């Protein structure tokens, strides 16, 4: 998977060490167990199963071994289809984002269970009658992880911090599931690793074990990834209209001259490529589709050797430069990633700096740098300076005001694997990196080539047209901006 951080394994089996607690009834001595057997397992070998092969290195994490879980931000439960409150008012941006499987504290069927990492307490046949155990996550992960315990009837329920698991359950072994309720957003706050610890209390003996699980990073798509579906702007329907009424994404009325011809030719091209017709996305006239969100994915081992993938849509961090409020801070045309696209195995994520809300002058001048059109991904490559096997994020920034929201960049940096690299785009009027850079397949060692727009070559081309007597021909006929 790319450049990942490993951690030194902690020594949980400590010989000859006693923990002394002073209580009102006297002094109690808890002896840490010297037992060396494995008690807690995760899918450390990444084959989608819990087995003997998972014993080695379970408390560590590396590019080769270590359990993985996707962030459970999709909506398998179908609980996020209401976009207005009881009084008929639109739900705010943050309220819209705070819905999904990670927010309901339950396992929403078999599909949702696939989004959780399986864990297992191995049978402990010789525990005493009064023995009990707890399973907890590390303090840094408390707000981003949740544990479930499987009952003897096969149902999963939340396992509260400190909740006791009885001796009877321990003797037969216990199935658990770990849910990641978010992605890593800031490595200085939380690095995306979850340490799950087991403590078994049996008389005056405490036996401990631990596994480490990484939340799958959000990996942004690059130009060489296969197309699943093509989305184009529905300029006739506002996001609010789509939220309040049943929206049909298979049809849309044209608004601008030339839209009909464009759609017909696009549909023909998609059909020739073996793809379905375009899916319409309600923009209400904010037609810059590439600026509303950027697609990505998170993945973990699935059953039977499969890879379980969750599509993740990262919403633009553009704060509306005209009338942004605390409840509705962001560009409205980004909302359909939640109201229309979020669903089973499709998650949506947003982040922004609240202090930019209401600063209309700043957002008018520099807010465009937050558009997702200002973020692209170079396909996989390697140089003497390093390798990026899942691609590398590139974004436009001059390191000053002409730069994206720091919270957005920090989130991308926290994924670790695509190592975001800024490129100065302040020489552009809008400032988006996708205005002059893209990538295509090529027959070379890398398998791709960069296509870079050259203003000088463009000017030369226009000059040649004028010299050939074609200067009076309108460019882009039918467009309201034809010149």
**In this structure, how many other beta carbons lie within 10 angstroms of the beta carbon of residue 429?**
7
Query: Rounded to an integer, what distance in angstroms lies between the CA atom of residue 142 and that of residue 140?
Result: 6
Q: Is the CB of residue 27 less than 8 Å from the CB of residue 10? A: no
pLDDT of residue 27: 42
Query: Rounded to an integer, what distance in angstroms lies between the CA atom of residue 112 and that of residue 106?
Result: 9
**DSSP per position, 180-231:** E-S----TTT--SEEEEEEEEEETTEEEEEEEEEEEPP-EE--TTSPPS--E
Cα–Cα distances (Å) from 43 to 11, 104, 112, 305, in that order, read: 20, 25, 17, 12
Q: 319: which DSSP letter?
A: B
Q: Which two tokens stand for residue 362?
A: 């700043």
The residue length of the chain stands at 483
- For residues 306, 298, 103 and 119, what is the CA-based torsion angle, rounded to 10 degrees? 50
Query: Rounded to an integer, what distance in angstroms lies between the CA atom of residue 72 and that of residue 77?
Result: 11
What pairing do the DSSP bridges indicate for beta strands 437-441 and 448-452? Answer: antiparallel
pLDDT of residue 66: 98
Look at the pTM and tell me if it is higher than 0.85.
Answer: yes
pLDDT of residue 480: 58
**What value, to the nearest 5°, has the Cα angle with vertex 390 and ends 385 and 217?**
110
| pLDDT per residue of the chain (483 residues) written in tens, 0 to 9 | 433 333 322 222 322 333 333 333 344 444 555 455 789 999 999 999 999 999 999 999 999 999 999 999 999 989 999 999 999 999 999 999 999 999 999 999 999 999 999 999 999 999 999 999 999 999 999 999 999 999 999 999 999 999 999 999 999 999 999 999 999 999 999 999 999 999 999 999 999 999 999 999 999 999 999 998 999 999 999 999 999 999 999 999 999 888 999 999 999 999 999 999 999 999 999 999 999 999 999 999 999 889 999 999 999 999 988 888 999 999 999 999 999 999 999 999 999 999 999 888 889 989 999 999 999 999 999 999 999 999 999 999 999 999 999 999 999 999 999 999 999 999 998 999 999 999 999 999 999 999 999 989 999 999 999 999 998 888 776 665 556
Q: Is the CB of residue 312 less than 8 Å from the CB of residue 218? A: yes
Q: Is the CB of residue 315 less than 8 Å from the CB of residue 293? A: yes
pLDDT of residue 482: 55
pLDDT of residue 305: 87
């Amino acid at each position: 998977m790319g450049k990942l951080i490993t951690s030194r394994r902690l020594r949980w089996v400590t010989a000859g060490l006693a923990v002394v607690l002073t209580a009102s009834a006297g002094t109690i001595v808890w002896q840490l167990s010297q037992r060396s057997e494995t008690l807690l397992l995760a899918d450390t070998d990444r084959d989608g199963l819990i087995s003997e092969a998972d014993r080695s290195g379970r408390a560590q994490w590396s590019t080769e071994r270590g359990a993985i879980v996707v962030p459970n931000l999709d909506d398998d439960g179908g609980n996020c289809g209401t976009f207005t409150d009881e009084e008929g008012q639109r739900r705010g941006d943050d309220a819209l984002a705070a819905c999904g499987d990670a927010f309901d504290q339950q396992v929403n069927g078999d599909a949702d269970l696939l989004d959780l990492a399986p864990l297992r307490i191995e049978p402990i046949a010789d525990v005493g009658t009064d023995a009990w155990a707890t399973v907890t996550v590390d303090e840094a992960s408390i707000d981003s992880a949740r544990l479930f315990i499987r009952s003897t009837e096969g149902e999963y329920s939340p396992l509260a911090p400190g909740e006791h698991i009885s001796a009877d359950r321990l003797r037969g072994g216990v199935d658990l599931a770990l849910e990641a309720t978010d992605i890593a957003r800031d490595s200085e706050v939380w690095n995306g690793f979850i340490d799950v610890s087991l403590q078994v209390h049996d008389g005056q003996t405490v036996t401990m074990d631990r596994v480490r699980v990484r939340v799958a990073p959000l990996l942004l798509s690059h130009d060489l990834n296969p197309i699943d579906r093509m989305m184009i702007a529905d300029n006739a329907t506002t996001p609010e209209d789509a939220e309040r009424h049943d929206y049909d994404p298979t049809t849309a009325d044209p608004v601008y001259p030339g839209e009909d011809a464009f759609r017909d030719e696009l549909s023909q091209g998609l059909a020739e490529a073996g793809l379905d017709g375009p899916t319409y996305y309600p923009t209400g006239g904010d037609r810059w589709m590439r600026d509303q969100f950027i697609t990505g994915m998170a993945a973990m081992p699935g059953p039977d050797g499969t890879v379980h993938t969750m599509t993740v849509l990262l919403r633009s961090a553009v704060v509306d430069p005209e009338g942004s409020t605390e409840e509705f801070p962001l560009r409205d045309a980004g909302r359909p990633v939640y109201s229309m696209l979020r669903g089973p195995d499709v998650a949506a994520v947003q982040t922004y700096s609240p202090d930019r809300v209401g600063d209309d002058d700043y957002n008018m001048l520099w807010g465009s740098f937050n558009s997702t059109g200002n973020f692209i991904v170079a396909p996989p490559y390697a140089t003497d300076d390093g390798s990026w096997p899942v691609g590398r994020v590139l974004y436009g920034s001059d390191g000053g005001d002409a730069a994206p929201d720091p919270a957005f960049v920090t989130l991308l940096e926290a994924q670790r694997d695509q190592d975001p690299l800024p490129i100065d785009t302040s020489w552009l009027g809008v400032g988006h990196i996708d205005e002059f850079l893209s990538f295509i397949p090529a027959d070379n060692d890398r398998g791709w080539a960069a296509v870079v727009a050259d203003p000088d070559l463009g000017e030369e081309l226009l000059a040649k047209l004028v010299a050939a007597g074609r200067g009076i021909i309108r460019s882009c006929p039918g467009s309201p901006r034809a010149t």
